[in-house]
Amino acid sequence: MDDRPELPNYDPDFCLTVAKWGAISCVGWLTIALLILILVDPTDGKCPGWFIHDKNGPTSVWVLVGLFTAAPTIWICYVVLRWERFSQQIYDSAAGTYKPFMTPKFLYDRYKPDPVTFPFNRVFVVTVVGWSLFCTGSLWLMFYNCTNLFDYLGY
């Protein structure tokens, strides 16, 4: 018998499917970024040695890919692999037994959403879509700083 409370706006199987699709898209963006860095010769371009040069000094594109694509990809894959833990936290929150890390109890209790009316599924979809778009950040930085595409388009 499942002793979890009934949450009308939360379907853990649907949210897991959304998280899996988000992880797949982030892995795809990471693969594209790494293939560009490995296969494209940057010596004659605007980013020699895959460094973006600006007034603050050079910035490594590899570091940008690590921060804006690899780290979020690792996190969403961790969420998918440890889904039961994350799902249990939602149920614990609904039951009132969840204690967030380093958040004062009075602050958490004051702003905690009502678990019966909170649209968990919709919020999760929006969050994962935003996370996947965030994973494209390093690609946009590469396209903007290392190619003439935006110059050609007039930006």
pLDDT of residue 36: 92
Mean pLDDT of the region 123-135: 96
Q: What is the pTM of this model?
A: 0.84
The verdict on residue 24 lying in a domain is: yes
pLDDT of residue 4: 67
The verdict on residue 5 lying in a domain is: no
* Residue-wise pLDDT tens digits, 46-94: 888 899 888 888 999 999 999 999 999 999 999 999 999 999 988 887 7
Mean pLDDT of the region 118-122: 92
Mean pLDDT of the region 22-26: 98
The verdict on residue 2 lying in a domain is: no
User: pLDDT grade, residue 155 (50/70/90)?
Assistant: low
Place of tokens 């921060």: 67
The verdict on residue 44 lying in a domain is: yes
pLDDT at 1 over 50: no
The verdict on residue 134 lying in a domain is: yes
8 A C-beta contact, residue 120 and residue 7? yes
The verdict on residue 26 lying in a domain is: yes
Q: What is the tally of structural domains in the chain?
A: 1
Beta strands 57-60 and 51-54, pairing class: antiparallel
Structural domain span for residue 53: 12-153
